[in-house]
Amino acid sequence: MFGKSATFAVALAILAASGCATFPGRDPALDDARLSLDAARRNPQVAMYAFAEFDQAAATLRQAEDLAANGGQYNGVHQLAILANQRAATAQDVARLRSEQAALVTQRTATDARIQADVTARQAAAAQLQAAEAQRQADQAQLLAAAAPAAYDYRRRANEPLYEAPVTSVRAVVGPPQQRCWVERQVVDTGAPGINVPGAVVGGIVGGILGHQIGSGRGRDLATGIGAVGGAVVGANVGPGTVYTQDVQRCVNVSTAPPLDYWDVTYTFGGYEHHVQTTSPPGRTILVNGQGEPRV
C-alpha cells in the first residue's frame, strides 16, 4: 500500500516539473488582476479614452478564470492572470495620456479662441475709430459747405417787383501793375587800350574758313586750325581793341492802366446799406427787389 502512494507522489512531481499539472488552488496573480481591472473600471478616464484597452484586459481575465474553473494548467492560468493585470494597468496609462492630450487640445483651442476674440475686438475698435473719423470729416465738410457763400443769381424772378436804390459809392478794384521788358544791343567802351575781342572772334572765323580750303584729309584739318589761330591773332590787333557790344535787358512799367478785376458798389435800400460786386460800373441807381437784393 505504501509503495503505491509513493509511486503516485513521484508521478505528481514528474507531472508538475514537466508543466502538465492542473490548477492546484487559489493563484494570487488572479486576485491582483481582478483588483487592477476593478480599479480601471472605476476610472472615468478609462471609460472615455481607453475603452478598447480595458475590454482587452477584461477578456484576458475571463479567459484565465475560465481556464482555472475548468481545471486548466496552473502555468497557463498564471500567465493569463499576469497578462490581464498588465493590460489593465496599460488601459489606465493610455487613458491618462489621452486625457492629457485632450486637455492640451482644449487649452490650445481656448487660447486660439481668445486670440481670435482679441483680434476681432481690435478690428472692431479700429472700425469704430474709422467710422468716428469719417463722421468727423463729414461734419466738417457740412460745416464748410454751410459757411461757403452760395452762388447768387441776380436775374429777375417772374413777376417780381423791382425798385431803384441809390448808389452811395463805387470803388474800382484793379490787379497788380505790369512791366514790359526787351533786349537791346549796347556798345561797351572801357576807355583803355587792350585786345580787340570782337576782332579776334571775327578773325578766327575767317582764318578757319580760309585754312579749311587748303589741302585735304588731316592736312586740311591742320590748315584749318592754323588759319583760325592766325586769324584770331590778327583780328585782336586790328582796331582800337577796347570797344565791343553786348545784349542788355531793359524793363519799364507799362503806362496803360492795370487790368480791372471788379467794381465794389455800395447802395442803400430800406434804411440799410448793401454791397455788391459788378463787372461794369453802375449808374446813379441800381435795381433791387423788395429785400434789397440786386437784379439785372
Q: Quick check: 59 pLDDT over 90?
A: yes
DSSP helix, strand, coil percent of the chain (3-state; round to 5): 55, 20, 25
Average the pLDDT over 8-15 and give the result: 37
Beta carbons of 269 and 287 less than 8 angstroms apart: no
Q: Which residue has the higher pLDDT, 38 or 202?
A: 38
In degrees and rounded to multiples of 5, residue 291 shows phi and psi of -95, 5
| Helix and strand counts by DSSP (H, E) for the chain | 7, 6
In degrees and rounded to multiples of 5, residue 293 shows phi and psi of -85, 135
State CA 1 to chain mean position distance. Answer: 109
- What is the grid cell recorded at 184? 537791346
Rounded to whole angstroms, how far apart are CA atoms 286 and 263?
A: 13
Q: Quick check: 153 pLDDT over 90?
A: no
Q: Model confidence at 15, in pLDDT bands (50, 70, 90)? A: very low
What count of residues does the chain have? 296
Q: Quick check: 256 pLDDT over 70?
A: no
Q: Which residue has the cell 427787389?
A: 289
Q: Which of 80-94, 151-165, 224-238 has the lowest mean pLDDT?
A: 224-238
pLDDT for the residue 111: 93
Q: Quick check: 57 pLDDT over 50?
A: yes
Average the pLDDT over 247-261 and give the result: 67
Q: Which of 152-166, 171-185, 223-237 has the lowest mean pLDDT?
A: 223-237
* pTM of model > 0.85: no
By three-state DSSP, how is residue 203 classified? helix
Q: Model confidence at 246, in pLDDT bands (50, 70, 90)? A: confident
Beta carbons of 261 and 240 less than 8 angstroms apart: no
Rounded to whole angstroms, how far apart are CA atoms 248 and 121?
A: 74
DSSP conformation class of 257: P
Q: Which residue has the cell 503516485?
A: 8
Q: Quick check: 86 pLDDT over 70?
A: yes
Beta-ladder partners of 127: none
Tell me the average pLDDT of the chain.
76
Rounded to whole angstroms, how far apart are CA atoms 91 and 279?
A: 103
179-189/272-278 β-pairing: unpaired
| C-alpha closest to that of 274 among 252, 257, 290, 251 | 290
pLDDT for the residue 14: 37
Which residues have CB under 8 Å from 164's CB, separation 6+? 285, 286, 287, 288
